[in-house]
Amino acid sequence: MIVALELEVPPRAEYIAIVRLVVSSLASGRRNLADERLDDLKLAVSEACTNAVEAHTRAGTTDPVKIRVLEADERIEVEITDRGGGFDPDRLPLHPPVTDPSRLDFERGLGIPLIRTLVDLARFERLEDGTRLRMVVFGGPAGDGGDETTEILRAVLADED
């Protein structure tokens, strides 16, 4: 396992695109990573960075968000560390009911399930003053992807019928 990249960006939304571009162009050099997995990783990195930036904004800190990419033959790992005060990923609020005006903001609730669907392994570590998310993608062909997000969307949009 080698550290291939370390990056710090200001906690502002305009830097999210840069992070996903840098990480995905690094990952694109991996022979054994299918294009679809590369897309998955790129999206997961974007979601994770968005969460980190939002956490910093909520916490009122201008400290940088830290990104570290580690590589081994069979895997690529991306660590995103924020100092946004921390949260418990298992205790995320459920999406607001569809009758609630705030439901239009439910994209925030979609990010973490999406990350879990997109990467092979996602682990949230609670730090003293923030959260470290470690995401692992193994080389090899793309899987079918999970069904978790589908379930979530279905629940949120159940009143369409």
CB contact at 8 A, 128 and 67: no
Q: 11 to 50, contacts with other proteins by CB under 8 A?
A: 13-14, 16-17, 20, 36, 39, 42-43, 46-47, 50
- Half-sphere exposure for 81 (CA within 13 Å, toward CB): 16
- Which positions ≥6 away from 37 have C-beta within 8 Å? 137, 139, 140, 142
List the one residue from 6, 8, 105, 129 that touches other proteins (CB under 8 A): 105
The 10 Å Cβ neighbour count of residue 97 is 12
Does residue 157 touch other proteins according to CB under 8 A? yes
Does residue 145 touch other proteins according to CB under 8 A? yes
As measured in angstroms, the least distance from the Cβ of 20 to other proteins is: 8
What are the phi and psi torsion angles at 61 (to 5°)?
-110, 145
- Which positions ≥6 away from 127 have C-beta within 8 Å? 81, 83, 86
Q: What is the total count of residues that contact other proteins (CB under 8 A)?
A: 32
Does residue 119 touch other proteins according to CB under 8 A? no
Task: Choose the binding region for other proteins from 58-66, 83-91, 123-131, 145-153 (rule: CB under 8 A).
Answer: 145-153
Nearer to other proteins, 74 or 105 (CB): 105
∠ at Cα 65 (78, 88), nearest 5°? 75
**Which residues would be at the binding site for other proteins (CB under 8 A)?**
13-14, 16-17, 20, 36, 39, 42-43, 46-47, 50, 53-54, 104-108, 110-111, 114, 117, 145, 149-151, 153-154, 156-157, 160
